Structure 1
Amino acid sequence: MKVVDTNDEGLRTLIHDYPRVIAKFTADNCAVCDLLAPPFIKFSLEEEYQNTLFLRLDVSENPVARKLMDTRVAPFFVSYCRGKLSECDTLLTEDQVKAMLRALNTCTDTP
């Protein structure tokens, strides 16, 4: 599945439409955001994560996303299991993103 660009409203809807969602909040002039873009796309295409929806939001255009980040900086990742916040943190390495995805993969498709 490809990475989907969305906004605050789309995020609110999509986390309830898919059992597993990971969202990456990015910002302009964020070197780490750019560095993690290729691995994020690569993970979205891997068979292991085909039941996970990958979202990307620009925090400067989405006030709800920005508020969710609180005092943290981009790239900020949030995972949802069946519409509920599962994990959120600023991630700086590909291995950290993969660890969040593996944890999210333990979420079952049914409540």
Structure 2
Amino acid sequence: MFDFLRKDVVLDTDDAGLRRLTHERLKVFTKFTADNCPVCEMLGPSFARFADDEAYEGILFLRLDADQSPVARQLMNERAAPFFVSYCQGRVVECDTRHTEADVEAQLARLRALMPHTA
């Protein structure tokens, strides 16, 4: 029931879950995938490995099927899968297509280093 609270889980969700979780959690890193996408498949193991890495313990990792997500379909008009979205305090911080593990790790490191606003 509370699997999304464990740091080593990549949670598969939908648009409603994405909206809820990005507001419930301080930092969220989301991978939007598509069927028959070789780059999506290639980056899958590294995405799971990052989710299990203690360095990223405070970040929730989500995965959405771009073909099943209206939000993703809208983003796909400008980008190709896989694309990664970093959220902090419910807001999009960064969103872009990534083709290599190093690119994904760099975006993730920027999210990790981001200091949240305090009111």
On whether the aligned pair clears a TM of 0.5, the verdict is yes
**Paired position in structure 2 for 1:33:** 40
TM superposition shift of 1:110: 5.6
Q: Which has the higher contact order (CA 8 A, sep 6+)?
A: 1
User: Could you tell me which of 87, 90, 96 is aligned with 1:89?
Assistant: 96
Deviations 1:51-93 (A, max 9, x none): 0000000011111122133321100100001111100000000
Q: What is the correspondence of 1:23-62 to structure 2 with a 5 Å cutoff?
A: 23-62=30-69
Which residues of structure 1 form unaligned runs of 5+? none
**Paired position in structure 2 for 1:12:** 19
The share of aligned pairs that are identical, in percent, is 51
CA distance in 2, matches of 1:47, 1:109: 19
CA distance in 2, matches of 1:38, 1:110: 32
Q: Tell me how large the CA RMSD over aligned residues is.
A: 1.1
After TM superposition, the score normalised by the length of structure 1 is: 0.95
CA distance in 2, matches of 1:76, 1:7: 15
Which residues of structure 2 form unaligned runs of 5+? 1-6
CA distance in 1, matches of 2:43, 2:25: 23
**Paired position in structure 1 for 2:29:** 22
